[in-house]
Amino acid sequence: MASLQDAVVTGGSGPVTLPRHVAIIMDGNGRWATQRGLPRVEGHRKGVEALRRTLKAAREIGIEIVTVYSFSSENWSRPPTEVSALMGLLKRFIRNDLAELHEAKVRVRIAGERDDLAPDIRALLTEAEALTAANTGQTLIVAFNYGSRQEIAAAARRLAEEVAAGRRDPATITPEVLEAGLSTAGIPDPDLIIRTSGEMRLSNFMMWQAAYSELVFQPILWPDYGREALMEALAEYGRRERRYGGLSSATGA
């Protein structure tokens, strides 16, 4: 029987071009914990372990850019104890893993609003970006306090302010101009977006950038995710045909 690695390489019918940019909606931490009679925070702790496994596998496979949806702008509505635990996990992840990511030449970028974050959180995010800014290996984009509608609205608002101040002709506003104001400016759109836990929606994640992304929904809960599940998603990607609104462009060729 062919291995999962072989499945990704062949796509079942020929060599597959790996996606350059994979974005992941890491869903199911709470359900994982509830199913085991554990506090929800325990699911989030296990989710951090799954993130480490998956990032390592993505680097070894050769994925150039990985974006992870770590905390949405809507997550602030969760119980304060859960939000506090999530902030603590973020701090520990950066403090414990940043050195390893830096050693692996990973460049860290943060997508999302920072103005209303606690000063210590803002400082950690800035530190992660500054320390790894010159790295030329994999790019890791952490979508934190992120909402796609908010991101698009902020970019449109800045353009409206330029028009109102007489610094821009409205006729010059194109999709490319608006895109340059997004927090992912300069990063290619995701080729593949993965969502775990069986839910089949984007949940306000990279809606502009996902215009032509391939979507793969997997039933596995995020704390159980790792190399094997990532391989299965990549194998599914390899079976897709990417048309971009025009003629077929198969990922496996």
Is 75 known to be catalytic?
Answer: yes
d(CA 99, CA 187): 23
Helices assigned H by DSSP within 165-218: 175-179
Phi-psi region of 166 (alpha: psi -120 to 50; beta: other; left: phi over 0): left
Q: Which of 27, 29, 189, 191 is catalytic?
A: 27
> Do the beta carbons of residue 58 and residue 99 sit within 8 Å?
no
CA distances (Å), 74 to each of 70, 81, 106, 111, 204, in order? 12, 15, 28, 15, 9
Q: Counting every residue, how long is the chain? A: 253
Sign for the pseudo-dihedral over CA of 200, 204, 205, 208: positive
Is 27 known to be catalytic?
Answer: yes
Q: Which of 75, 135, 204, 224 is catalytic?
A: 75
> Do the beta carbons of residue 224 and residue 50 sit within 8 Å?
yes
CA distances (Å), 165 to each of 41, 58, 156, 170, 236, in order? 48, 45, 14, 12, 49
d(CA 220, CA 172): 45
Positions marked active-site: 27, 75
